[in-house]
Amino acid sequence: MLEIGQKGPGFALPGVDGQTYDLEHLLTAHRAVVVIFSCNHCPYVRAWEGRMMQLQDDYRAQGVALVAINANDAVRYPDDNFDAMKARAREMNFNFPYLRDDSQDTARQYGATHTPHGFLLDSSGTLRYRGAIDDNYDDPDAVQHHYLRDALDSVLAGETPTHQTSGAVGCTIKWVG
Amino acid sequence: MRVQFLWWEGCPSHPEAWQRLHDVLAGLDVHAEVERIEIKTDDDAERWRFPGSPTILIDGQDIAPQAEPVYRLTCRLYFREDGRPSPLPSEATIRRAVQQALARCQDQV
């Protein structure tokens, strides 16, 4: 698994909007990049999805890009295939790129295990936080620790996040084979 | 009343759902033995008509029946009363299903 302080492995993955998203370009254009391994079918993702969109809205002006990557086996889980991803992005009007990692190489390189599983990279591409979005999937009003937001605030302020890791909570990534 | 709790270890919601089920049963003063059934394979999922973890059956009926279920090893998507998605059935959903089963038992007496 990618460790705090290591460089996030590069990727160039297709998005549901027809564009290819390259980590290097994202880092060049932003002060921080949040990579969230995500998917369509997982109820934990569904529960956190609105908060992912809100986070992108709240931090866009500060130069933060959020990208979601779906690496799930789309044969056994056809509701995670590219067409279904396009439909989900339309339905939810995602305000972030939603990328397909068919080879699952990117998910493996990052050591992603669950959906959602977040990785916060600073402008140099260094991992500064890894884990859950916050500590309460079921009730946004009952969140005690806004892990990802707090880490973003720290990184944007040039500080070390108080919580650099937390346990990812969600569905396991559906590996091929 | 026959209560079955179907779960898959790949989804972390089952301990909380198990507790929630027992809390509802206790709250309604229902003393039912809950059969705990672990779903381990896709074949198990097909055989048990398991659309995801957790699934609760009361007298063989799913407490939150789906229109077009797909049987597989996955976390199950539920919706709370306010429409929010959740990996857990709400207490209200469980309670309603138990009360309906109790009513069916009364009708049969």
Q: Is the dihedral of CA A115, A69, A4, A60 positive or negative?
A: negative
**Does residue A4 belong to any structural domain of this protein?**
no
Contact across the interface for B85 and A169, Cβ inside 8 Å: no
Whether B109 has a pLDDT exceeding 80, the answer reads no
Contact across the interface for A47 and B11, Cβ inside 8 Å: no
**Does residue A33 belong to any structural domain of this protein?**
yes
Q: What whole-number distance in Å separates Cα of residue A69 and Cα of residue A97?
A: 8
Residues of A in contact with B75 (CB under 8 A): 42-44, 170-171
User: Shortest Cα distance from B104 to chain A (angstroms)?
Assistant: 31
Whether A162 has a pLDDT exceeding 80, the answer reads yes
CATH of the domain at A126: 3.40.30.10
Q: Is B71 on the interface with A (CB under 8 A)?
A: no
Which among A79, A105, A98, A84 has a CA at the least distance from the CA of A36? A98
Facing residue for A46 by CB, picked from B10, B74, B85: B85
Question: What mean pLDDT do residues B5-28 have?
Answer: 96
Residues of A in contact with B87 (CB under 8 A): 42-44, 47, 137-138
Whether B107 has a pLDDT exceeding 90, the answer reads no
Contact across the interface for A137 and B10, Cβ inside 8 Å: no
Q: How many domains does chain B have?
A: 1
**Does residue A177 belong to any structural domain of this protein?**
no
In the block, tokens 């309670």 appear at B95
How many CB atoms within 10 Å of residue A76? 15
**Full residue range of the structural domain in which residue B81 is found:** 3-108
Q: Give SS3 for A72.
A: coil
Contact across the interface for B12 and A137, Cβ inside 8 Å: no
Closest-CA residue of chain A to B77? A43
Residue B106 confidence class, pLDDT cut points 50, 70, 90? confident
Mean pLDDT computed over every residue of chain B? 94
pLDDT digits (tens, 9 = 90+) for A54-82: 999 999 999 999 999 999 999 999 999 99
pLDDT digits (tens, 9 = 90+) for A88-145: 999 999 999 999 999 999 999 999 999 999 999 999 999 999 999 999 998 899 999 9
Per-residue pLDDT, A132:
98
Contact across the interface for B84 and A47, Cβ inside 8 Å: yes
**Full residue range of the structural domain in which residue A152 is found:** 12-172
CATH of the domain at B86: 3.40.30
Residues of A in contact with B88 (CB under 8 A): 138
For the stretch B66-77, what's the b/e string if a residue is b when 16 or more beta carbons lie within 10 angstroms of its beta carbon?
eeeeebbbbbbb
**Residue A73 CB-half CA count within 13 A:** 12
Question: What mean pLDDT do residues B46-59 have?
Answer: 96
Per-residue pLDDT, B76:
96
- Sequence-ordered strand ranges (E) for chain B: 3-7, 34-38, 55-58, 61-62, 78-79, 85-86
Per-residue pLDDT, B105:
79
Q: A43, B75 in Cβ contact below 8 A?
A: yes
pLDDT digits (tens, 9 = 90+) for B60-79: 999 999 988 999 999 999 99
Q: How many domains does chain A have?
A: 1
Contact across the interface for B11 and A76, Cβ inside 8 Å: no
